[in-house]
Structure 1
Amino acid sequence: MTDSNNLPGRKSKYPAPDTLFAFDERGTQLPVEFDDGGKSSGVESEDIGERIASPFDPSKIEVQTRTPTVSLLLNRIRRDTIDLAPDFQRRAGIWTAKAQSRLIESLLLRITLPTLYAAEVDEESWAIVDGVQRLSTIARFVDPAAIEAEPLRLTGLEYLTEFNGCSFADLPGRLQTRLEETELVVLLIRRGTPEEVKFNIFARINTGGRPLTRQELRHALIPGRARSFLYELANTEPFLSATSYSVSPERMSDREMCLRFLAFSLNSPESYASQDFDGFLRSAMHGINSLSPEELATLKGQFAHSMRAAERIFGAHAFRKRFPGYNRRSPVNKALFEIESVSLAAMLPDEVDLLEDRRSVVEEKFMELMDDPTFMGAVSAGTGDVGKVRHRFREMNRILQETLDA
């Protein structure tokens, strides 16, 4: 059996399960996010407390139902007018050959597949939001070169067992035609629909299987350099080491953490005023797409500096809550990741050295914050609230500065 924890860029095992959780003062286990295998992602689940600031104008919402054939969709893939987000880990390349073969068998048996969801990027291009795995499987079988994949040979079929071991070319012509002429249902959100409405619609309809996370939606709907840059940061040794190799990349929690660092590095916490935290992160992705290679290199250096500093000062408990009397290590907290990483990125090397020398003082002051209901609320519930964002950044900067001045 394959160990699902053996992921590229990660150590072969996450820490033992009992090191991934913490308990509050009542002994209640902190909630965590889960990956597709039902295992802890190593990240504390979060309530950002989002709300719709103003109602959407229904006239700006344009959704169409399309029924293209498999052949037409493959032509779009060949011409790069369908974006399958090739590094979209959770949706592409995770099914077994048997599972993929069963999907092909369903098409050959004329069993209707679930609806594909897509967003129109421009007049010709679509970004597939839900259905990447299904479409990738079809492409891998019919035209693997279109997605630069290994050809799929059918295996484990339930009904058409005589075709086990067959490739597309091995099928009778009538079955090849049946596949190519199969119509798939695509729900397409037109490009004139405002971005915030588009994200809201996908969040509402995203109910099949395991719903996409917000970062997976951002990844699917906002193409550009930000995608690969977040992947690069999440796979740097400083990040992996500072988070103790405990954050699973499957649901893109690691990339969201990196995005939050970048968002608050490019925009000061005091400038955050929208009450729309998801919109703030989407805007940051667009901003990253417009940066020059030199600017990206500078941000990457600042990120590495902050990760090393966090590990030196906070040790194994970097970016995690701590509770008096409980020594188990908590899951990574995204709000704490923001404030620790961004605050430390601004520190000079000699200041980091001094904070490391006085790490016992930092720990004492941090534990005082953990005992402050207002601060705990700012990193636990409604974390996208403007007041809570500013409060947690001010408090983290305060304890670091007081330590330096001691």
Structure 2
Amino acid sequence: MPKTAPQNLEDSDEELLTFKYSITSYGADYPVDSLVKRMKNGSIYVPQFQRGYVWDHREASRFIESLLLGLPVPGIFLAKEQDTQKLLVIDGQQRLKTIQYFYDGVFEPNQREFSLTKVADEFDGLTYQTLSEEDRRRLDDSIIPATIVKQDEPSDDNSSIYYIFERLNTGGQQLKPQEIRACIYHGEFNNLLAELNYHQCWRDIYGSPKPDKRMRDQEMILRFLALYFEGDNYQKPMKGFLNQFLGQNRYLKKYDKSAIQLVFIRTIETAYEVWGGRAFKPKNQINAAVFDCIMVGLARRLEKGLINDKESLNTNYQHLLKSQNFLDVTVNSSRTTEKYIVQSRLSQAINAFENVQ
């Protein structure tokens, strides 16, 4: 990973939502055995993300004990996916995974038998199978309240779920924007981003042989692709723009895999051939604003065919990095996601490369 994170990534901007959603929400009370069944068949699923399961054996045991004692427990938060009708767990994965582990009989973090520990004497040392029939029935019938949300409008991107997820994600290590997107928009496009992220030229430019654990490298690829394909429709916040682009093309129906692969690979290979590992680094680290516009400008030129005059390309690039107008909308700006600033740097980069032979 680079010594420092890329500059000007959208997660560093304090961005306010400039639009409203229409969201339906309702409450549902699920018996524990029903939740376990639904998790096993995938109709309720916990997304894979950085934080993962964090409870220890004692914490997990005390949660099961609360259910056995009939004590109220915190509710869970689920989002209904429009296309599959499955329920995505936004908040409550610790509770849901705990009951799943207990019913399976194995505490997954240490792969040991899940017997209750440091709980009331009547339950201490017991597994689901060794509970009395009465206690098993009481656990099966215990209720966990849920709030289920569904985005009605806009109907094509499920982007509100991103913001709900983000605002509920307040414990432990905060998830980065791309980590949340990987949870909510899992699918063919997200898989393709992970695949492109391993391209050797990109890894050399980014400065690490291994992908960034916080997915900031994937976010930069997404940012380039979004501005290349939909830059004319850009509206701040950048966060929302990327959410919408990934959500609308989640299954590679709007822009197909071959088109995305072609534009990214052709552009990043040309950049690496000309600038090597120093590409997009006006100082000592990648600048996201420099990266997105230079990549778009280079990609637009490559639409006309291969570039033969690499020296001219490099000269124009170096002039651009010294231009005060360009620096004002990239390196020197603290508002790199403002619409007029995004448009300005994109147009400057496109104009710089369009006549290179």
* Structure 2 length-normalised TM: 0.76
Identity, in percent, stands at 21
Q: CA deviation at 1:244?
A: 1.9
| CA contact 1:375–1:391 (8 Å) conserved in 2 | yes
Contact 1:141 1:152 in 2 (8 A): no
Following superposition, the deviation at residue 223 of structure 1 comes to: 4.7
2:61 is aligned, of 84, 105, 130, to 105
Query: Are positions 1:53 and 2:18 aligned together?
Result: yes
In the alignment, structure 1 residue 73 sits paired with structure 2 residue 32: no
Is 2:267 the partner of 1:306? Answer: yes
- Structure 2 CA distance for aligned equivalents of residues 121 and 144 of structure 1: 30
2:114/2:127 contact within 8 Å kept:
no
- Shift, 1:243, TM fit: 1.3
Q: Please tell me whether residue 128 in structure 1 is matched to residue 101 in structure 2.
A: no
TM-score by length of 1: 0.68
State the AA in 1 paired with 2:16: R
Letter in 2 for 1:354: D
In structure 1, runs of 5+ residues without a counterpart are 1-13, 22-31, 33-41, 323-328
The one-character-per-residue Cα deviations of 1:96-144 (angstroms, maximum 9, x if unpaired) are: xxx4423421223318665432212249521112334553354244238
1:331-369 deviation per Cα after TM superposition (whole angstroms, max 9, x unaligned): x333333223333334449855533x4576356324414
Aligned to 1:117: 77
Partner of 2:176: 213
- Name the structure 2 match of 1:354: 309
Deviation at 1:203, TM superposition (A): 3.8
1:384 counterpart (337, 344, 349): 337
Task: Tell me if 1:342 matches 2:296.
Answer: yes
Cα separation, 1, equivalents of 2:131 and 2:271: 57
Measure how far apart 1:65 and its partner are: 3.7
Tell me the matched-pair count: 345
Contact 1:62 1:193 in 2 (8 A): no
**CA 1:259/1:373 → structure 2, altered by over 3 Å: closer, same or farther?**
closer
Q: What's the secondary structure of 1:382's corresponding residue?
A: coil
CA distance in structure 2 between the partners assigned to 1:358 and 1:113 by the alignment: 66
Amino acid at match of 1:62: T
Distance 1:113 1:292 in 2: 42
Compared CA separation, residues 354 and 373, structure 1 to 2 (3 A): closer
The equivalent of 1:236 in structure 2 is: 199
* Aligned residue number for residue 396 of structure 1: 349
2:319 to 365, 370, 373: 365
Q: Does 2:104 align with 1:143?
A: yes
The residue number in structure 1 matching 2:213 is 250
Aligned CA-pair RMSD: 4.1
Match of 2:146 in 1: 186
Letter in 1 for 2:189: A
Partner of 1:7: none
Distance of 2:201 and 2:39 partners within structure 1 = 36
Take 2:335 and 2:295, find their aligned partners in 1: how far apart are those partners?
A: 20
Tell me how far apart the structure 1 counterparts of residues 137 and 324 of structure 2 sit (CA, whole Å). 64
Match of 1:159 in 2: 118
The verdict on how the C-alpha distance between 1:71 and 1:398 changes in structure 2, with shifts beyond 3 A counting, is: same
The structure-2 alpha-carbon separation of the partners of 1:185 and 1:281, relative to structure 1 and needing over 3 Å to count, comes to: same
For 2:346 and 2:125, the matched residues in 1 are separated by 58
Q: Deviations over 1:33-88 (max 9, x none)?
A: xxxxxxxxx6655444533334x37xx44333434233221222233222323xx2
Contact 1:247 1:254 in 2 (8 A): no
The 10-residue stretch of structure 1 (68-77 or 284-293) with the greater mean CA deviation from structure 2: 284-293
Give the 3 Å change call, closer, same or farther, for CA 370–107 of structure 1 in structure 2: farther
